[in-house]
């Protein structure tokens, strides 16, 4: 399916009005304030980006956000031929001069690799390209990589293979894949741009990665609904209220396929090379930085329920909500959840 058709299919499921459906992981319910919402959508990083701002004459700033997305896709996408990431991956271990922004994000990704004991690792590219989760989940042609392929890919993973000197990066082995952190990074850059232009209210939605800019224009918090795993699109498991926070969900229902009645999802354990098999359907992270929330949603999923909750309790600026395979909803804080839906 070409890029235009993918974009149109996503747009068909965006429900505008008081409920905006977010295609990958969340549903946004908004009772708007006194200003009229202005909304635009476009397609970057294999997903639909929707920016909602409030008041007249905001269209130019929405276009500015899309220009930012375009800029970073050309720098950070592993599938863009001339991106910084592609140049690093194809350099055969030689140093490649890259942008300040690429250095900034790779250094942040390394921080999270260290913090998570390598559960989040930006050098998983050889592994992620073995698995194809972009087709129909029920497609009988979906292929499980063989053990030898997976072992070879796993052996290439390790953030210590990244050598940064000034504005150059060399990758001794493996492949960079910043897909687990790039959308959050871009959302933060969009927020900076909007705030620099005096815009204090809005919603940045990068395929389910939500960044809430301020409260609503009338001072109320936003109400956000999180997708119920494996239910029809837009059906929430629960809602929460928040403002000026980033809310990112990683879930097994986002991209997956089924072979011989077994579900294989896209959240891969870099130590085994296979989808992580634990009792979690999704992890939602609420924190100040979208970059942090993006990386943490993957890392905390892979940590498992107990370690993830312990991490949240030890870090006051991070809240999480877990949905188990059995549908139990577990929150790191008693006052996070507004309503739960059957």
For the stretch 238-271, pLDDT in tens is: 999 999 999 999 999 999 999 888 999 999 999 9
Least confident window among 1-10, 168-177, 203-212: 1-10
Assign 139 a pLDDT band (cuts: 50, 70, 90): low
Integer Rg of the chain from CA: 19
Does 19 score more than 70 pLDDT? no
The share of the chain scoring above pLDDT 70, in percent, equals 88
Query: How high does pLDDT run on average in the chain?
Result: 89
CB < 8 Å & 24+ apart, contacts of 81-88: 84/169, 85/176, 85/177, 85/178, 88/169, 88/170, 88/171, 88/176
Give me the pLDDT at residue 30, please.
39
Give me the pLDDT at residue 314, please.
96
Does 169 score more than 90 pLDDT? yes
- Which tens digit of pLDDT belongs to each residue from 49-101? 999 998 878 999 999 999 999 999 999 999 999 999 999 999 999 999 999 99
Does 22 score more than 50 pLDDT? no
Assign 2 a pLDDT band (cuts: 50, 70, 90): very low
Least confident window among 8-12, 189-193, 240-244, 293-297: 8-12
pTM of the model: 0.89
Better pLDDT: 10 or 319: 319
Mean pLDDT within 115-132: 96
Does 18 score more than 60 pLDDT? no
Give me the pLDDT at residue 36, please.
82
Assign 46 a pLDDT band (cuts: 50, 70, 90): confident
């Amino acid at each position: 399916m070409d890029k235009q058709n993918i974009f149109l299919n996503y747009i068909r499921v965006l429900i505008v009005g008081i409920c905006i459906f977010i295609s990958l992981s969340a549903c946004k319910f908004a009772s708007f304030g006194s200003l009229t919402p202005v909304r635009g959508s476009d397609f970057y990083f294999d997903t639909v980006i929707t920016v909602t701002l409030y008041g007249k004459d905001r269209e130019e700033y929405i276009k500015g956000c899309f220009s930012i997305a375009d800029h970073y896709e050309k720098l950070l996408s592993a599938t863009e031929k001339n991106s910084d990431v592609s140049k690093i991956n194809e350099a055969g271990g030689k140093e490649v001069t890259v942008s300040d922004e690429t250095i900034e994000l790779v250094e942040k990704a390394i921080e999270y690799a260290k913090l998570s004991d390598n559960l989040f690792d930006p050098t998983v590219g050889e592994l992620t390209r073995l698995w194809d989760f972009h087709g129909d989940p029920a497609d009988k042609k979906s292929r499980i990589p063989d053990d030898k392929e997976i072992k070879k890919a796993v052996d290439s993973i390790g953030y210590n293979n990244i050598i940064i000197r000034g504005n150059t990066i060399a990758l001794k082995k493996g492949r960079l894949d910043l897909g687990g952190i790039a959308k959050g990074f871009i959302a933060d850059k969009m927020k900076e741009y909007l705030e620099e232009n005096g815009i204090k209210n809005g919603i940045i939605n990068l395929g389910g990665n939500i960044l809430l800019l301020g409260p609503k224009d009338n001072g109320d918090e936003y109400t956000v609904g999180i997708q119920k795993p494996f239910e029809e699109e837009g059906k929430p498991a629960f809602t929460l209220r928040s403002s000026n926070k980033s809310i990112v969900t990683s879930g097994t229902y986002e991209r997956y396929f089924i072979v011989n009645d077994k579900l294989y999802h896209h959240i891969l354990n870099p130590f085994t090379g296979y989808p992580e098999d634990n009792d979690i359907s999704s992890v939602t992270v609420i924190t100040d930085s979208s970059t942090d929330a993006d990386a943490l949603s993957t890392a905390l999923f892979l940590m498992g329920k107990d370690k993830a909750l312990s991490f949240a309790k030890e870090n006051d600026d991070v809240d999480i909500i877990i949905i188990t395979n059995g549908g139990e909803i577990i929150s790191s804080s008693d006052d996070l959840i507004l309503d739960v839906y059957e």
